[in-house]
Amino acid sequence: MDYSKFYTPTEIADLLIKQLEINPPNSVVDICCGRHNLLYSAKQIWPKAQFVGVDVIEHLVDDIDCIQSDGRKFAIEHSNQFSLILANPPFAYVNKKREYPELYNNLPFRYSTSRLENEMLLANLRLLNSNATLLIIMPRTFINAKNNLEIRKYISSTYHVKKVIRLPDGVFGSSKISSCALIIRKADSNYSYTSVLDVMGVEKEYTVSKPVYVRKKQMDAGYWDTDYMPTMSSRLLNSRRGTISSSYFAHSGIPILHTARLQPQWKPSIRYVNENISSSIYAEDGDIIVNRIGKAAGQWCIYTGDPILISDCLYRIKDPGGDIAKKLTGNVYSSPLRGVATRYITMDDFDAWYKSIE
Report the CATH number of the 239-356 domain: 3.90.220
The pLDDT profile of the chain, 358 residues, written as one tens digit per residue, is 343 457 889 999 999 999 999 999 999 999 999 889 999 999 999 999 999 999 988 877 777 889 999 999 999 999 999 999 999 999 989 989 999 999 999 898 889 899 999 999 999 999 999 889 999 999 999 999 888 999 999 999 999 999 999 998 878 765 678 899 999 998 766 678 999 999 998 777 899 999 999 989 899 999 999 887 766 556 788 999 999 999 899 999 999 999 999 988 999 999 999 877 777 799 999 999 999 999 899 999 999 999 999 999 999 999 998 999 999 999 999 888 888 778 899 998 999 899 889 7
Please name the fold of domain 10-228.
Rossmann fold (3.40.50)
Give the whole-angstrom CA distance, residue 225 versus residue 231. 13
User: Please, are residues 191 and 25 in contact by the beta-carbon 8 Å criterion?
Assistant: no
User: Please, are residues 21 and 65 in contact by the beta-carbon 8 Å criterion?
Assistant: no
Give the whole-angstrom CA distance, residue 229 versus residue 216. 13
CA neighbor of 299 nearest in space, from 253, 264, 324, 323: 264
Question: 290-316 as b/e, with b when 16 or more CB fall inside 10 Å?
Answer: bbbbbebbbbbbbbeeeebbbbbbbbb
Characterize the bridge pairing of strands 288-291 and 314-317: antiparallel
Give per-residue pLDDT as tens, 26-37.
999 999 998 899
At what angle are helices 37-45 and 10-18 packed, to 10 degrees?
50
Cβ burial of 23 (10 Å; 0-12, 13-18, 19+) is exposed
DSSP 193: E
**Count of other CB atoms within 10 angstroms of residue 247:** 6
Domain boundaries of the chain, sorted by first residue: 10-228, 239-356
